[in-house]
Structure 1
Amino acid sequence: MTEPRFPVEAGHVLMFRRAIGDPAAVYDPEALAPPTFPVAGAQFEPEHPLRPRPGEPWMGSGRTPSGTAGLDGGESRTSTLHAEQHFTYHRPLRVGDVLTPSRRPGEEWTKEGRRGGTLRFTSYVTEYRDADGELVVTARSVAVATSQAPGAEPGSGEA
């Protein structure tokens, strides 16, 4: 399988600006993309974990408190949330760029929650390179998973 390519198109940037309520949401083919625009690249990755697939349970469906129940073949016993997102720009992202993302696991750590249970943090790093292979943006996202089932009472033994 080839790596997904993410074209930065003027119309896509315009729609993204409108979706986030950016007051600069006007069509400008010379525009720089907003700082959080690289997340829109998920739409170009067929296997991206947050991209819905017809006929399959979707992590973000909201049918359950965690949105993840049943994805592991049974009833999910944890809740996973997006905790942080950081972007480091190595140069401005411009309309006309074509990016190729590469994702790798980052750090992992745990912390005891205030209401009981262990919180497990996992970071992921995505590097976006242009057609010349130059690094344009480094994105770091952090997810947090609880050790308790959603809605379980602290100390109930459900973990």
Structure 2
Amino acid sequence: MTNYTKVPSIGQIYDNSCWAACLAWWLKAVQGGRPSWTQSRVMQEFKRCTDTNGAMSADSMINGLTDDTRMKMSAAEFETPDEILTGLPLGSKPVVIAFKHITGFAHMNVIWACRTGTVMCMEPFWPMPGVDNKRTGRFVERGFDHFNYGNSVVMAWGNLSDGSSTSSPMEAG
């Protein structure tokens, strides 16, 4: 199994850029003919998908990531709390997850299988609250319950190596 913690974590530049930090890290970790963009470049490329605060809605994330063929990603929304999150087989590659944080705000991490019942996360909001342009991000192991505070999560994962899409991250490898 690949040790993704060898890819340095990326801290979000400002409060609403967790999505850009996560996508920049995911691109570096997964590679596979995808661009290797910085967080700033990700923000430029997907500016059309953000609101006036620089945040990305669930629909914008799903449509923006799946429509941009350079990303080679599929994305979908999954209802929560859901039993599937307690035993989600993630496959061998990291998955981007947007979720409602316990604080009530929308947030994003990159997760991959760790141990039964837990995932390893690339958490971009560290140190917390930290200072804009100075966060480093970090790796932390979490239980699936960390992602079960809202009505749904959005997950985005890499398409299969032949370029075809899968209907869920459980099928992606």
Same fold by TM-score greater than 0.5: no
TM range (shorter): under 0.3
Q: If you compute each CA radius of gyration, which structure gives the higher value, 1 or 2?
A: 1
Q: TM-score, normalised by structure 1?
A: 0.23
Q: Which has the higher helix share?
A: 2
Higher strand share: 1
